[in-house]
Structure 1
Amino acid sequence: MYLDVKGHKTYCYTGGKPFEAAKPTVVFIHGVLNDHSIWILQTRYFAHHGFNVLAPDLPGHCKSEGEPPKSVEEAADFIIALLDAAGVKTATLAGHSFGSLTALHAASIAPQRVARLALLGTAAPMKVSPALLDSALNQPMKAIDMVNTFSHSMLAPPPSALGPGTWLYGGSKALMRRVLASNTQVNLFHRGFKACDDYTAGEAAMDKVQCPVLFILGKGDSMTLPKMAAPLQAKAKNGKTVLLQAGHQMMTEAPEEVLFAIRDFLQAPSA
């Protein structure tokens, strides 16, 4: 469905079910050069099991209008405005990579709006190497190859992801090329990576988070090593960690495990 968020048409995938604001809501936030489709298994499950699902394309990405966020803070403001536009008072936020920082910061600036927080492939700080930043700006196709090498720990997904015979590297690269081409005015790759690299408020943000926090980390993640989440884990007041046999693109490398981790987190008592 489409929502008007700050005067711009924003696309949100709802998992194939009509949106009903009275239901509990989970917002799924994608990372750099991704879109709503990375959450396809998780969103469809929750939409068919009693939840609202909002999986937006971030502003300036694919089906959504608006200026792509220049910072984590801008992206977090967008998520709160999205909740307002949907008429949602409180929601669970689940974010991957850049989306995890966005979800974290949103929970810090509006703690009363976030019931639970799931951070996938997260790190504090989330630094990006100068070489990768330069490639994202000047040689984005080369950078896409680099990122996909670092983001995957296996060649093919289990059947529950995209189907037998699927090539994870090829599918992910195709998605990233499509997202990059969706905006001819802004280099979404470099802007997103620079926003990750510039964000230094992670630990301070976690200090302000009041809700339970789930960390889902990949043992084979070479983009955000599991140990890089330690500063946030140490400050989470009510935190839980799930380690998966997967790399950074865990939603396709371990789709069921990601789903079950979030499902169990939402079913657990809040205290």
Structure 2
Amino acid sequence: MLFTVENTSAYCYTGGKAIHPEQPTAVFIHGAQNDHSAWALQTRYFAHHGWNVLAVDLPGHGRSQGAAKTSVEALASWLLAVLDAAGVAQAMLIGHSMGSLIALEAAFQAPQRVSHLALLGSSYPMKVSPALLETARNDEPAAIDMVNLWSHSSIAQKPSFPGPGFYAMGGARRLKQRISAINPQHIFYTDFYACNAYANGEVAAATVRCPTLFIIGARDMMTPPKSTKLLTSTIAHGKLVMVDSGHELMAEQPDAVLDALFSFAKP
């Protein structure tokens, strides 16, 4: 579904369903150098089980037009404008990695718009090493390969990989390469820069009052479990679920992530 947001086309995947005002809405927010398809194994289930789904392509990613935004604050404001364009007064926000910071900041900017908050593969501060930032700016293909390797645990390589019908590491790599092909304007660097520069996370977390869920990958090397402590201690009422995966937990452990999200979403 296409909306006009800030005078530019914004795409949201809806699971093939129309938006029904009487149903609750779940908004899925992808991470750096990704698009809505990162949530393919969760969004369709929500859409066919009583929920409106808006899985966004952030500006400059996937089918959304415009330049990639350089700050988490600007991305959160854009996300709230998407809700306005879709006619959604309140939603559950579900964000992965960079998307988790966007969800957190949106809850800070407009707490009345957020019914539930789910943060996956999240940490604060979400610092990016200078070497990776430099590689993302000057050699994006190398940065894609580096991050793709670090984002997956060894289980992603095994024949017993739990995501049926596809190869997690290969799929994630091709998606990041496709984003580069669609928009060659150093998207990876821009996304990493926004994560690295975001400085409002602790303040935002201290204001969260809505039900909150943390889903953490036990093998995550990008946002290790120990890096979540500031957020989980500040949002002390949040529920924490640990899954046996790396950073790409929606693909590595799709059923466990879906079960945690859908159980959390129930009234």
Calculate the TM-score normalised by the size of structure 1.
0.95
Match of residue 146 from structure 1: 146
C-alpha distance in 1 between matches for 2:230 and 2:159 = 31
8 Å CA contact 1:27–1:93 kept in 2: the answer is yes
C-alpha distance in 2 between matches for 1:180 and 1:88 = 31
C-alpha distance in 2 between matches for 1:20 and 1:219 = 37
C-alpha distance in 2 between matches for 1:162 and 1:46 = 18
Match of residue 51 from structure 1: 51
Residues 43-82 of structure 1 correspond to what in structure 2 (within 5 A)? 43-82=43-82
Match of residue 193 from structure 1: 192
Aligned length: 265
- What is the CA-CA distance between 1:167 and the residue it aligns to? 2.7
Match of residue 112 from structure 1: 112
Q: Which amino acid aligns with 2:183?
A: N
C-alpha distance in 1 between matches for 2:55 and 2:213 = 18
- What is the CA-CA distance between 1:33 and the residue it aligns to? 0.6
Match of residue 95 from structure 2: 95
C-alpha distance in 1 between matches for 2:79 and 2:141 = 29
- What is the CA-CA distance between 1:237 and the residue it aligns to? 4.6
SS at match of 1:93: strand
C-alpha distance in 2 between matches for 1:77 and 1:143 = 28
Match of residue 215 from structure 1: 214
8 Å CA contact 2:103–2:117 kept in 1: the answer is yes
- What is the CA-CA distance between 1:157 and the residue it aligns to? 7.5
RMSD over equivalenced CA pairs, Å = 1.3
8 Å CA contact 1:12–1:57 kept in 2: the answer is yes
C-alpha distance in 2 between matches for 1:65 and 1:148 = 25
Percent of matched pairs sharing the same residue: 51
C-alpha distance in 1 between matches for 2:37 and 2:160 = 17
SS at match of 1:26: strand
8 Å CA contact 1:59–1:65 kept in 2: the answer is yes
- What is the CA-CA distance between 1:160 and the residue it aligns to? 5.8
Match of residue 173 from structure 1: 173
C-alpha distance in 2 between matches for 1:172 and 1:79 = 24
Q: Over residues 24-64 of structure 1, what are the superposed CA-to-partner deviations in whole Å (9 max), with x where a residue is unaligned?
A: 00000000011000101110000000000000110111211
Q: Which amino acid aligns with 1:6?
A: E
Match of residue 163 from structure 2: 161
Question: Which ranges of structure 2 fall in alignment gaps of 5 or more residues?
Answer: none
- What is the CA-CA distance between 1:183 and the residue it aligns to? 1.1
C-alpha distance in 1 between matches for 2:161 and 2:132 = 32
Q: Over residues 190-209 of structure 1, what are the superposed CA-to-partner deviations in whole Å (9 max), with x where a residue is unaligned?
A: 00001001112111111111
Distance 1:157-1:172 versus aligned 2 partners, 3 A rule: farther
- What is the CA-CA distance between 1:238 and the residue it aligns to? 2.3
Distance 1:230-1:157 versus aligned 2 partners, 3 A rule: farther
SS at match of 1:11: strand
8 Å CA contact 1:158–1:253 kept in 2: the answer is no
8 Å CA contact 1:34–1:175 kept in 2: the answer is yes
C-alpha distance in 1 between matches for 2:173 and 2:249 = 15
8 Å CA contact 2:10–2:64 kept in 1: the answer is yes
Q: Over residues 201-224 of structure 1, what are the superposed CA-to-partner deviations in whole Å (9 max), with x where a residue is unaligned?
A: 111111111201100000000000
- What is the CA-CA distance between 1:180 and the residue it aligns to? 1.5
SS at match of 1:214: strand
Match of residue 225 from structure 2: 226
8 Å CA contact 2:218–2:245 kept in 1: the answer is yes
Q: Which amino acid aligns with 1:41?
A: L
Q: Which amino acid aligns with 1:118?
A: A
8 Å CA contact 2:161–2:252 kept in 1: the answer is no
SS at match of 2:240: strand
Match of residue 40 from structure 1: 40
Distance 1:64-1:157 versus aligned 2 partners, 3 A rule: farther
